[in-house]
Amino acid sequence: MKILNFVAITLFANILASTASAQVPEGKPPYDKGCSFCHNAGIAGAPRLGDPDAWRDRVAGGMARLYKSALEGTPKGMPSRGGVDGRSLTDNEIKYAVDYMVDKVKDALAAAPASADPAANAAAAAVQPTAPVLFSFNRLLRPLDKRNLAPPDDGIHDPENEGTHMLQSPAVGLADFVKSNFGNRVDWVATLESGKISPRWERTNPDAEGIVMDMNILRVPRGFMPNVVFPHKQHTEWLECSNCHPAIFIPQKGANQISMPLILLGQKCGVCHGKVSFPISECRKCHSQKKDAPQKAVGTP
C-alpha cells in the first residue's frame, strides 16, 4: 500500500511535471473561446474546470491522451476540438487549453492522488466501459477513423452485393465540401451557401423550385442556457413546410412544448438533429443567442 502510494505519487508528479513547461497562460484565451461553455458548468458530463475529482483519473492517463481527446473528441461526448467555438483554434491552442485545464487541478492532484488505493482502482476499473459507449444523443458521433467509411466497410451496405462496390466512398465524394468537426464532417448549410452543391427540389424535375422562408423563431429555454434561434431559412432551403408542419410542430410561435429531454429522445428537433442533420452535441448551433441579448436583435424580418 505504501509502495503503491509512492508509485502513484511519482507517476502523478511525472505527468504533472510534464505540464510544468507547458503553455499555461497561453491556454486561457483558447479555453475561454472554445471550451468554457461546457467545462465551466460541467455540461453533458464534461469534467469541470478546477474539479480535481473529475480530472484525477483522466490526468493519470497522461497528457498525450488528453490532447488526443481534445483534438479528436471522445465517444462519450467531448466534441472534436470542442465543436463550433473551437473550430477556428489551432492544434497548439487546443493543447494549451488542455494545459490550462490540467494546471487548474495540478496542486490538488499532487496533494491527493486518491486512486493509489487498490480498492478504489478496482472500483474505477469496474465502471470503465470496455467498449466505447455511443451516447444516444449523438447517433452520428463515431471515432475519427470510423467516419465516412467506404460502403463495403460502413456496416450499412451489404459487402456481398456487387453494387455496393460501385458506390463512391463518402470520404471521396464529400472531400470538396465545406468541412465541419461533427456529424459526417460536412457543414451542409455552408456547403449549400458556397454553391458547391445545388440539390434538386424534386427528384424528377430539375426546374422545380422550393419556397425558402426567412423567419427566425426565438425560444427562451428555462434555466441558464442561451436562447435558441430556430432559422426557417436554413431549414426551408432543404425541407418543405410539410416536413415539420403540422406533424412535428404546430405552426404557431410558442404553441409547441419543446424540451431537451424530448429532443434527446428523438422527438421535436431530435427527429432530424443527431440523425440526418448536425448532432445534439453542437449546443451552440441552436443555443446561439445570449440570454440577456435584447430580443429585438433577433431578426424576424
Question: How many residues in the chain?
Answer: 301
| CB within 8 Å of 131: residues ≥ 6 apart | none
Segment interacting with ligand HEC (CB under 6 A) among 35-43, 114-122, 194-202, 290-298: 35-43
* Residue 201 or 238 having the CB closest to ligand HEC: 238
Q: Residue 205 CB, nearest distance to ligand HEC (Å)? A: 18
Rule CB under 6 A: is residue 223 a binding residue for ligand HEC? yes
What is the distance between the alpha carbons of residues 171 and 199, in angstroms, rounded to a whole number?
19
| CB within 8 Å of 236: residues ≥ 6 apart | 210, 211, 212, 213
| Phi–psi pair at 217, nearest 5 degrees | -115, 125
Beta bridge partners of 231: 216
* Residue 116 or 189 having the CB closest to ligand HEC: 189
| Phi–psi pair at 282, nearest 5 degrees | -85, 65
* Residue 98 or 105 having the CB closest to ligand HEC: 98
| Residue choice 16, 46, 109, 141 for contact with ligand HEC (CB under 6 A) | 46
What is the distance between the alpha carbons of residues 274 and 146, in angstroms, rounded to a whole number?
17
Rule CB under 6 A: is residue 49 a binding residue for ligand HEC? no
Rule CB under 6 A: is residue 69 a binding residue for ligand HEC? yes
Q: Residue 162 CB, nearest distance to ligand HEC (Å)? A: 32
Q: Residue 7 CB, nearest distance to ligand HEC (Å)? A: 21
Rule CB under 6 A: is residue 15 a binding residue for ligand HEC? no
Nearest alpha carbon to residue 239 among 272, 261, 216: 272
Where do we find the cell 483554434? 89
Segment interacting with ligand HEC (CB under 6 A) among 3-11, 155-163, 171-179, 225-233: 225-233
β 216-219/228-231 pair status: antiparallel
Q: Residue 278 CB, nearest distance to ligand HEC (Å)? A: 4
Rule CB under 6 A: is residue 280 a binding residue for ligand HEC? yes
Q: Residue 296 to residues 100, 192, 222, 227: CA-CA distances in angstroms?
A: 37, 28, 19, 13
Rule CB under 6 A: is residue 34 a binding residue for ligand HEC? yes
Rule CB under 6 A: is residue 188 a binding residue for ligand HEC? yes
Q: Residue 151 to residues 16, 164, 180, 217: CA-CA distances in angstroms?
A: 44, 6, 21, 38
Segment interacting with ligand HEC (CB under 6 A) among 15-23, 109-117, 154-162, 257-265: 257-265
Rule CB under 6 A: is residue 252 a binding residue for ligand HEC? yes
* Residue 116 or 188 having the CB closest to ligand HEC: 188
